[in-house]
Amino acid sequence: MRPSGNRRPNIVLIMSDDLGYEAIGANGGTSYATPVLDGMAGAGIRFENAHVQPLCTPTRVQLMTGKYNFRNYIGFGLIAPDEVTFGHLFSSAGYKTCIAGKWQLHSYNPPDEMPEARSTGQKIEDAGFDEFCVWHPHHTEEKGSRYKSPIVYENGEFLENMEGKYGEDVFADYIIDFMERNRDDPFFVYFPMALTHRPLEPTPDSPEFDDFVPPSNETLGARTWAKLEDWDDEARYYKDMVEYHDKVIGRVNAKLEQLGIAEDTLVIYVGDNGSPVEVCSIIHSHTEVCGGKGLTVDRGTHVPLICSWPGTIPSGAVTTDLIDASDFLPTILEAAEITPPDDYFIDGRSFLPQLKGETGNPRDWIFFHFEPMSGRVHRYARFIRDHRWKLYDDGRLFDLNADPEEEAAFDPADDDGERSEARSRLAPVFEQMIK
């Protein structure tokens, strides 16, 4: 089905920060109220096997370019200054484009850490969007609060009179205004949310909000990580933050309805990695899942993925198809009928057919190259997984059904027929990826 008026569809891509699969009610989560996202799932489609990188920048680079990290990743908190992203592709195709929310892809490290990496990323002005309203556009020591009394950079200027305002509301207000101004033209909105990332703080719906002073504004100009991010926050606020982020998404969705363009708009919601490790949540009323951000086990990579498009996506659909972060770009390009340049390489595959209730071309496996390139996160992992098996490039094989925490790897010498088949099927992918 084509959008009403035979126009190309609007695309709204929403990504929460540090929120795993287990946090959403539609996925069986029972720790938090997420009525908006649950409603989106009921009216659209929910994916049970969407996996991304276990940290934010690796996921964001992959999401924005459709490429695995080994092809174009240059460092944590950075995207290459000459990288062509979906912002450039949609703008070049005649879409009105905007980004509102977290940028953090130009210069992440403070002056005392990895100075060679500072200011080596892409400026928000060069990211291909017509308009922007973002937090953390420049140096880390200048970023300040993303929540209460936020430091917000809008179209080349820092906003004034932010005292007492809430960052996510500022971003949502900007998106709502952008959609209203561009209701008659196809638009692409990228909303990389600040919520629910640390610091874990009161929201406007928390009783403590009025008296709360954000510590991140008190450390503006700090030259060390200890001063910048050694917050004395409280995990109990994670519930307030999850529920407020759901409320904000509801405001965006309500505006699409109010403007009469909901049936012309594909809304995609996804998480950027697992929940914070200090947060434990309940799923299916009895199973505790503690966050796995930064870990390559499933609770670090497994995220919610919910899509709505009234009149196009069948209501209440659920799929177990494997999805990874490289798949979002080809999906939204296909939905918008945009053909990338001939020399633009894409690893991902579109899941637009699945959105329409068709079989499509589902994946047999997902490939991960995880190398944060951070002075604080010294990790490397390459692995491939399917619905059941997970193989690392060092030969470790895990049965994820029986061992989701990957506590007991199978040695090749001990493989039975089933494990041997899985190993022989997945192992060639490593060589395939580096060609």
196 assigned to some structural domain:
yes
- What is the structure's pLDDT at 433? 86
pLDDT digits (tens, 9 = 90+) for 278-299: 999 999 999 999 999 999 999 9
Of 55, 42, 47, whose CA–CA distance to 21 is shortest? 47
Percent of the chain at pLDDT exceeding 70? 98
- What is the structure's pLDDT at 5? 54
291 assigned to some structural domain:
yes
Of 257, 313, 270, whose CA–CA distance to 49 is shortest? 270
pLDDT at 334 exceeding the cut of 80: yes
Pairing of strands 131-135, 96-102: parallel
- What is the structure's pLDDT at 2? 38
Least confident of 39-43, 106-110, 254-258: 106-110
Q: Distance between CA 140 and CA 247 in Å, rounded?
A: 28
405 assigned to some structural domain:
no
Mean pLDDT calculated for residue range 371-399: 93
Mean pLDDT calculated for residue range 209-231: 93
- What is the structure's pLDDT at 435? 63
160 assigned to some structural domain:
yes
* CATH number for the domain that contains residue 83: 3.40.720.10
pLDDT digits (tens, 9 = 90+) for 153-190: 999 999 999 999 999 999 999 999 999 999 999 999 99
The whole domain housing 343 covers 4-362
Q: Across all residues in the chain, what is the average pLDDT?
A: 96
Domain count of the fold of the chain: 1
Which stretch of DSSP H or E encloses residue 164?
none
pLDDT at 321 exceeding the cut of 80: yes
Mean pLDDT calculated for residue range 350-358: 98
- What is the structure's pLDDT at 230? 86
Asked whether the beta carbons of 102 and 193 are under 8 A apart, the reply is yes
pLDDT digits (tens, 9 = 90+) for 32-49: 999 999 999 999 999 999
Q: Distance between CA 157 and CA 140 in Å, rounded?
A: 17
For residue 244 the two structure tokens come to 């407020």
Mean pLDDT calculated for residue range 248-276: 98
386 assigned to some structural domain:
no
- What is the structure's pLDDT at 42? 98
